[in-house]
Structure 1
């Protein structure tokens, strides 16, 4: 079972929805690499409107021609593990923004990979 509580580091990566890495969405490559690195978790959030260094506004509004919406990838783990992952972000992110924030994890408990540990309805028994 995965557990993480206390002081942690959050890395947030802002890129465009259409950004790619070897013909694959960049956000997917970042998530898969974070998973392969054994980080506690990663989530991708699609923005409805935003702009970056280009000062071009991207929006999901119906009349807009823009489809390259902003995407945020959020990863949280211990400072040591997140900092060890940063060189991979340097390799992947040509255009975008990468920020680090100290944070405190109140509760993070992952699923037990052993299905036998779950009860009849897939819930763990106390």
Structure 2
């Protein structure tokens, strides 16, 4: 299993669609086991431009993190698709072990 994390901005788009929504659709279409999109309240990247939300500043480009878990093959396919989008971001991934937790029935 691989864990893939993609850092991007809320304002990033791919073919007119927000990148995070594009990635979720890619994951759905590729049968990925799980994907989660997280919206940050503050952050900065390599360019050191701080993105934040507070009472006085309503940023339109807050940090977004997309987390994906699946097999190495599927993760590599998603990475190749994400590379086709034109945005400033960071993609990191690593091997993980997973345990499924389910409610008692």
Q: Is 2:75 the partner of 1:99?
A: no
**TM-score of the pair, normalised by structure 1:** 0.75
Equivalent in 32, 36, 48 of residue 29 of structure 2: 36
Secondary structure (helix, strand or coil) at the match of 2:67 reads strand
Deviating above 4 A after TM superposition, structure 1's stretches of 4 or more consecutive aligned residues are none
Cα distance in 1, alignment partners of residues 16 and 73 from structure 2 = 31
Task: Indicate the residue corresponding to 2:11 in structure 1.
Answer: 18
**Structure 1 gap segments, 5+ residues each:** 1-7, 110-125
| Equivalent residues in 2 for 1:79-98, closer than 5 Å | 79-98=72-91
The CA deviation at 1:108 is 6.2
Compared CA separation, residues 10 and 107, structure 1 to 2 (3 A): same
Higher radius of gyration, 1 or 2: 1
Counterpart of 1:50?
A: 43
Answer with 10-19 or 85-94: which moved more: 85-94
Residue 61 of structure 2 aligns with which residue? 68
What do you get for the CA RMSD once the two structures are aligned?
1.8
Q: Structure 1 residues 108, 77: closer, same or farther in 2, change over 3 A?
A: farther
